[in-house]
Every structure is written in structure tokens, then in C-alpha cells.
Amino acid sequence: MTDRDRRAEELSVLAAEAAACVACDLAASRTHVVFGAGDPDAEVMIVGEGPGRREDETGLPFVGPSGRLLDRLLGEIGLERSDVYIGNVVKCRPPGNRDPRPVEIDACKGYLRTQIQLVDPAVVVTLGNFSSKLLLATTTGITRLRGRAYDWWGGRKLVPTYHPAAALRGSARVLAEMQEDLSLVRSILDGNLRSGPDLEPPGGPGSAPEEPPAIEQLDLFS
């Protein structure tokens, strides 16, 4: 068995476990568990917040308009959906697409942690404010987080960007900045990491920059 096959098999076993999960109240309202999909040996893993209505109906991550835009943006940097692995912080749809609650994140965190360990991507791309702030353990918003790569768990890079839904609301600026962020991912994969713009520290000019803690310090990964 190749390493790729082993990863795929272990992800399949984990997906079956998640499909039967009743660890939080989201199990009562879901149609399908949206575990994740893509290349089990991907260099890039994309992490969103949680499934929406279409995802809940199909059991697949990022379908519908947001998924089509994501596919287009990946294509612009020479990647197909089949080249990456896509997952979410929580695997069941929160009612009304609200933010996941701490108890729901806690119930699901082992799945995300193991997905990252098994796929072992070089780059993790977080989509949107919620997943970016959670995985970087920061209160800084996505507008200030995006535009750079962060040193992250196990020598990986984490690149935060907007959720595709934000660009679909008609913001040309958001779309252009998402393209910049995905270009940064391409640069990392090509070994040509460029420096992103410096972030203004949360305390204002002159204060120490906010550094994300080691992954072991995050509740998500404890």
C-alpha cells in the first residue's frame, strides 16, 4: 500500500466515524455530515467555517456559487479542485448558517486535527473571518490578517483569505485581494515565498506585533 493509499483509507475510516457522530446538537438538524473531499496527499488544504444549505444537501464541501468561484480562483494559480483537500471547522451545518458555537467546535476539533495530520499539506488556506481567527488564535479580523503567510503548526504555512461569498456580494476589491492571496499560495508552492504587507499591531503603531501561538496552545488542537 502506498502512503497516498494509506492516507485515503484512514480518511475514509474517519469519515465513516464522523457520519455517525452525535457529539453535539448539530446532529439533530443535519441532512448529511460534510466531512471533506479532495486529494489525500494534497500540498494545499482549504478550511472553511461550516457547511451551508447546499453542502448539507449534498454532503460535499463548497458546492454552489461559492464553490464555483473557489474553483476559478484555484484554476488561476494552476490548481484543480482535485489537487487540493477541502474541509471545514465543523462538519454539520449550523442552523441558519450561524457561527459554530464553542461546544460544537470542541466536538468536531478532533476530525479537523486528524485531517490536517493525515493530509499533511504544505499550506493551509483559511476562508473567511471565523476559520482564520480560530486557527490563528487571534481576535484580529480577516481584513488585517490576509495578505501574508503565517508560520504554523508543524512547519506549515497558513494563508488566510476572504470567504468566496464575500466576493460574490459584488466587491471587486475583495475578489482582487483573494486573487493576491492565492498568488501567495502559488509562490509558496513554487519556493518563491514573497513577504506580505506588514500588519499594523492590534495595539496601534509602535506596539509589538501579534504573533499566533504554537498550535499546541490552541483549544482547537488540545
* Tens-place pLDDT, residues 8-28: 999 999 999 999 999 999 999
- Domain 34-195+212-221 - what CATH class? alpha beta
Q: How many CA atoms lie within 13 A of 173 on its CB side?
A: 2
- Measured CA to CA, the distance from residue 135 to residue 219 in angstroms comes to 9
- Measured CA to CA, the distance from residue 149 to residue 145 in angstroms comes to 9
CB 128 within 8 A of CB 142: yes
Nearest CA-CA partner of 76 in 209, 4, 184: 184
- Measured CA to CA, the distance from residue 30 to residue 104 in angstroms comes to 13
Mean pLDDT of the chain: 88
Confidence band for 217, pLDDT divided at 50, 70 and 90:
very low
What is residue 1's predicted lDDT score, i.e. its pLDDT?
A: 86
**The pTM of the whole model exceeds 0.85:** yes
Better-scored residue on pLDDT, 202 or 193: 193
Q: Taking the domains of the chain in order of start, what are their residue ranges? A: 34-195+212-221
On the question of pLDDT at 210 being above 60, the answer is no
Better-scored residue on pLDDT, 201 or 168: 168
Residue 19: its H or E element:
helix 3-19
CB 214 within 8 A of CB 221: no
Residue 16: its H or E element:
helix 3-19
On the question of pLDDT at 203 being above 60, the answer is no
Per-residue pLDDT tens digits for 43-97: 999 999 999 999 999 999 999 899 999 999 999 999 999 999 999 999 999 999 8
Category of 155 on φ-ψ map: left (φ > 0), alpha (ψ -120 to 50) or beta: left
Nearest CA-CA partner of 93 in 35, 26, 46, 24: 26
